[in-house]
Structure 1
Amino acid sequence: MRATLFSYVLRAYVRYALGMLAGLVLVFVVVDFVDRAKLYTGPGWVRDAAELYFYKAMMSVQQLGPAALLLAAGTTVSALRKQGEVTAIRALTFGPSALYLPILVASFVACAGLVVFDERVATYSGRRVDEITTQRFNKWGDWRFYYTPKQWFRRGDNIFFLRGGSAQEGFQDVSVFTVTESFDLRRRLDASGMFPVEGMRWRLTDVVERTFDGEGKTSVRRLPEAEYALGVAVTAFRIRPGRPEQMRASELREQIDARRDVGLATKQFELALHNRFAYPMAAFPAALLGVGLALRANRRGHLTAAIIEGLLTAVAMWGLMMVCRTLVLTERLSPGVAAWTPTVLLALVAGAVWLQREGLLHLPRRSLLVR
């Protein structure tokens, strides 16, 4: 009997979750297309727009998945309650765990699936959306902010200005400034090329070396070629352009280390790495919260209330995530705390609802949870 009940609730939850996800994705795609339809012009725009929105739909699965799991949890329990099946479950001496457990298992598996989906599908889809939007429809937005190659780097006492090239092929038209602890210029190297030799040694071609003694005197010498120990390995310059949300976890870790080595900001990349796991996993306590709200006593308008409560919770969490993201970018909050705060808060609220239901926690009667 217990296995049959578990399977029944599990199937109902999965069915509602898939339906909610499909509905949310469809609404997102339609609204986005209507809002941007005037941008899609030119020969073959229908085919290109269809491909664009296919990839946008893949991205929205990852973005809307937690909200769908939250809405499905409340809707499943509300539907069972409206049909009198929750009362029947209680009559058979099954407690709330008969509803919590299958939804807990299904939502946890779904959260893990969303992590894998984000890593394998959503990251690639995001890159394709940017490529189609810029190359086919000539809409750049903030593309340049993420894809313009970085030229200024710092490692120790050396500041590098690399105007062209790459770590693999060498850099062209470079300047290397060596500064003191008080940030006074001690040496400047200008070269037409900079190529890795071994370890932290580099070969510079067509070099103009200027040294400053700190007393206003400058010496200059020109060299066709010279080697310098610049205190940085070639791996430090492997800075990849692109949005951090569109990189895989291994790439994010690599970019965080590389950017930290050359004095570039890493907060946004650290936040994206934490969110790769924190954002999908927020759906787990959110689903449990949906069950707890749907089971509270003296509840009216079951299905409508479940949808409204789910949407309000999703909006509140989205707003909190935006606030946390802003605090990270302004260096007022660490990326780890910002990423996991919504998940932890959802878990605390879900736990409070469960404790209140069990009579272990007494909340004010004016609270939304017991009204």
Structure 2
Amino acid sequence: MTPRAMELQEAAQRIMEQKPLFILDVRNPSDFKEWKLEGKGFTYLNIPYFELLDGVEDIVDRLPADQEVLVVCAKEGSSVMVADMLVEQGRKAAYLKGGMKAWSEHLVPVKIGDLKGGGELYQFLRYGKGCLSYMVISGNEGIVVDASRMTSLYIDFAAERGIQITHVIDTHLHADHISGGRRLAQETGASYWLPEEDAQEVTFAYHALTDGTVLPLGMQGTQVEAVYSPGHTIGSTSLIVDERYLLTGDILFIDSIGRPDLAGQAREWAQHLRSTLYERYQELAEALIVLPAHYMNVDELNEDGTVARSLGQLYRENHGLNLKDSDEFMSLVSQNLPAQPNSYEEIRQRNMGRLDAAPDREREMEIGPNRCAVRS
């Protein structure tokens, strides 16, 4: 008997359905502490692979006897060997196919809702990175927002539905992951949009996304409207879709708010952030459904696997939206910051077109969790 390979989609389904899973992570403790396969109801045991080279007899009693154990490592190889040893000990074991390397690149499309005139809005969840991207569909046209570098999935998804991707938008210049926006636009012939305030040093042509820009989509009257909302970056721009959804980029999350420090102008950008959250967003309808570009932890997932809340609910529950004192707000966004994203300056340079990187290097640059939010 041999251990089975757990496909990435099955692991994602466990997260979406909030099913229990016991994970034996055989990476180094520092890697496990920083970043792991997370889900509600998941339990963990972290034992480095090198401690198991002589066998798993010493840890078998620490593993559940009545459920399958999923062994996880960086690239799959070590987890296969450990899972084999567990099976030899009479335990039911599986290994994560492709390891955390593959998990970091896996995308899961989930339908958010219907639009006027028969359109649809999809959220693409990148569970291994906490990144969220979107496709707005109306008629036979589609707009992709904050695309990851795995562009083939968007292309295949659109092709399956007979959709032509006509516009690709980045809500801001990303610093925690490599944008696939420009690449996707080139591959599909779509127009690529980027806030002009974030594009001062880019080396490529783009369409300037400015406050009030309206992109019509399809023949049903669906519109995507840009709302200038600086703070995470100086160019950060939100999108209102169909007068119902608010795509906030990295300005507002479900349980936190965006950090303003990733370009070395924390004080100035923090003032912009406060103005966006406490003035500009306050003018918007509370019924708008907030759809961010990232989530921080699995508690932010809804029962259907989506990441979404109404703007009104966030104004009631999100701590970052309820700091009336300006000094208290400034303290939050300057002192409650996690470590900066891995290779964030290289990623910014890559997204500006000022740095070339091979696919393996791009993957290395992105390894680890996103860190775009202020701590709650």
TM-score normalized with structure 1 length: 0.22
The structure where helix makes up a greater share of residues is: 1
Instruction: Give the structure with higher Rg (CA).
Output: 1
Going by fraction, where is strand more abundant, 1 or 2? 2
Report which structure shows greater RCO (CA 8 Å, sep ≥6): 1
